[in-house]
Amino acid sequence: MRLSSSKHLTLLVLAAIILIAPFGFPSNFYYRIGSLIFVNGLAVTGLVILIGFAGQISLGHAGFAGIGAYACALAPQYLGLHPALAMLLGTALSAAIAWLIGRPILRLQGYYLAVATLGFGILVSMVLANEAPITGGPDGHEVPELGLRKLLETIGLDLSNAQFWYAFTGLFLLAGTWLALNLHDSPSGRALRALHDSEIAARTVGVDVTRYKLSAFVLSAVYASLSGSLLALMNKFITPDAAGFLHSIELVTMTVLGGAGSVPGAVAGAALLTMLPQVLTVLQDYEHMILGLIMMLVMIFMPSGLVPSLSRLLRGRT
Amino acid sequence: MTELLQYVLSGLTVGAVYALVALGFTIIYNASNVVNFAQGEFVMLGGMITFFAWQAGLPLPLAAALAILAAAAVGVALNKLAVERARGAPVVSLIIITIGASIFLRGGAQLVFDKQLHRFPAFSGDEPLVIGGATILPQGLWVVAGAATVFALLYLFFTRTLTGKAILATANNRVAARLVGINTDYMMTLSFALSAAIGALAGVLMTPITLTSYDLGVAYALKGFAAAMLGGMGVPAGALVGGLMLGLIEAITAGYVSSVYKDAVAFIVILAVLFAMPQGLFGRKSTDRV
């Protein structure tokens, strides 16, 4: 009972933050930062399932974000699909690719898995950057309007563009968080966490290790793909950087900074790493040094991540 | 035939650098089980510090020595201030620490130096040598010879000296090493210094050919990591073969297929090798204690 109540509490707090935060927003810019946090948070939640629950690392998940993003850019142009359908197509494509490559890749462990996923991510970003006649190359590609805001306007819900994306991406994040929290406590989630601790022990008690690892990989790819699609539709423009190595690293860093095994940690990590560069631009030249320093300090003093370490601290106090 | 020889020569030159970076990964991994993603920054520091010391009037050999020492000091600091303090943290946390260190060093270099591309003169001029119709820069020979020397010296160090054997013992079993009186903390610090110095040397050797700038560390870290995994993490011979293979694959792909996809082919080969041999070419089969 305690677990499920803390699950509802997490969702409630997250929903409350998303609802209340705009009252403190002095300008539209803050809605945009909020939306970016939600978009990143969605991909990071997927990685919490893969890294935190199942214990499998990926340094190539931006590749799936790239597939989701370019599906929204290219499918409307070449297949005449509506952007919303393009997003679904991208999701299905990412899931299919994750399923196909996941079978051989997930036999690898630890750093070998890291380099294999890294290779996958780099392949995707290279194809996107080099097939310029189709994808627009390194200069990027424009993405059509989703059109949902106009639809809402006709039923009397008049939101500014920034407000609409804040709400829309916020809903996605809530749904993603809800799913991940439910998974955590379900039999499948327990199986995943069991294989995280010891694959051999999990196999011994009858967990189909291969199947569960693959499911976690596919699910996290779907999260990343949706996050990429949302980013593309929100910015109405996309470049191959979305699929790049640095974006993959950024996502993993968010996951681990927030607390790899913690679903609320995903949002915290995404928020920290999305806001930090905005705050640090004031310090201009020192931006990278401070960013690197914060990453090192958090990991040295809170090795299990911000949210788990802080909540342990709070529980110790009370 | 001449064409192929040309690609092989340029592949070996680049591959020797990858092998040195991969060797740096290997040494630190063996001592601490950490994959140090800041390894590429040592290559950057080697080139950048040499250039600025040389520009300030120091003779080139002295500038290079200074750069290698400075990089080794940074390596020691990285171990003492960050990695050692996070002992026992999960592996992903350690990865993030070294990535943080790499971002920190890159930001620092951009601040202390600048954002320009730099080059200092090659050690023995820029007149290409002709071998069987193909050409190689004298600096390319320096790179290959430098890498060969480092590998030979390290082989002697690890097999013939007590300190070298103590590092290997630490790598094999930290607790057992401590029980027989080896100062494992010191061995770890030494490994970081050694690996940083090797990275910096690679940077010094390569700068006259590829130029250097504050942000080239990421690319080298990526290639060195890939080469180390291709050969099998933790095996020095694997670093050598993995690095040379990666360089050759890149050069031959760039020559015969397409230069924009040379990295792609390299990673496809790595994926194929890992599917067939999940521990890399030379990796030991690991068994888990239950």
Q: What is the DSSP letter of B259?
A: S
Residue B237 located in a structural domain:
no
Which of B103, B275, B280 has the CB atom closest to A104's CB atom?
Answer: B275
Determine whether the interchain pair A108/B225 forms a contact, defined as Cβ–Cβ distance below 8 Å: no
Determine whether the interchain pair B86/A285 forms a contact, defined as Cβ–Cβ distance below 8 Å: no
CA distance B228 to B35: 10
DSSP H helices in A79-207: 83-105, 110-130, 132-135, 148-154, 161-185, 187-197, 199-204
CA distance A33 to B36: 32
Residue A296: closest C-alpha in chain B:
B97
Beta bridge partners of B244: none
> Which CATH architecture describes the domain A31-317?
Orthogonal Bundle (1.10)
- A–B CB contacts, 8 A cutoff, strictly below: 136
Residue A257, amino acid: L
Q: Vertex B22, ends B163 and B45: CA angle to 5°? A: 90
> Would you say residue B151 has pLDDT above 90?
yes
A8: left (phi over 0), alpha (psi -120 to 50) or beta: alpha
ipTM: 0.87
pLDDT band of residue B285 (cuts 50, 70, 90) is low
> Which residues are CB-contacts of A29 (< 8 A; sequence separation ≥ 6)?
A162
Helix or strand holding residue B46 (H, E): helix B39-55
What range does the domain containing B167 cover?
24-225
Which of B103, B108, B290 has the CB atom closest to A295's CB atom?
Answer: B103
Q: Which has more confidence, B118 or B270?
A: B118
Residue B202, amino acid: A
Q: Which residues of chain A have pLDDT under 50?
A: 1-2
Position A156 scores a pLDDT of 80
CB environment B79-113: b (16+ within 10 A), e (fewer) = beebbebbeebbebbbbbbbbbbbbbbbbbbbeeb
Q: What is the DSSP letter of B283?
A: P
Pick from A170, A173, A174, A161: nearest CA to A235: A161
Position B172 scores a pLDDT of 82
CA-to-CA dists, residue B159 to A189, A212, B163, angstroms: 48, 44, 10
The number of beta carbons lying within 10 Å of the beta carbon of residue A276 is 16
CB environment A202-220: b (16+ within 10 A), e (fewer) = beeeebebeebbbbbbbbb
pLDDT band of residue B32 (cuts 50, 70, 90) is confident
Determine whether the interchain pair A285/B261 forms a contact, defined as Cβ–Cβ distance below 8 Å: no
Position A305 scores a pLDDT of 85
- Residues of chain A numbered 179-198 and touching chain B (CB < 8 Å): 198
Determine whether the interchain pair A299/B222 forms a contact, defined as Cβ–Cβ distance below 8 Å: no
CA-to-CA dists, residue A98 to A120, A257, A293, B69, angstroms: 10, 25, 34, 45
Residues on chain B touching A246 (C-beta within 8 angstroms): 218
Pick from A304, A274, A243, A221: nearest CA to A46: A221
Question: What pLDDT, in 10s, does the model give residues B226-254?
Answer: 999 888 888 888 999 999 999 999 999 99
Residue B37, amino acid: F
Question: What pLDDT, in 10s, does the model give residues B59-69?
Answer: 999 999 999 99
Residue B271 located in a structural domain:
no
Token pair recorded at residue A261: 């095994």
**Ranges of each domain in chain A:** 31-317
Q: Which of A209, A299, A304 to mutate to test the interface with B (most CBs of B within 10 A)?
A: A299
Position B287 scores a pLDDT of 57
Residue B109: closest C-alpha in chain A:
A289
A51 touches chain B (CB under 8 A): yes
Which of A112, A256, A289 has the CB atom closest to B107's CB atom?
Answer: A289
Q: For chain B, how far is it from start to end, CA to CA, in angstroms? A: 54
Which of A110, A285, A296 has the CB atom closest to B100's CB atom?
Answer: A296
Residue B100 located in a structural domain:
yes
Position A148 scores a pLDDT of 87
Position A1 scores a pLDDT of 37
A251 touches chain B (CB under 8 A): no
Average pLDDT over residues B196-220: 93
Domain count along chain B: 1
Position A317 scores a pLDDT of 58
Beta bridge partners of A58: none
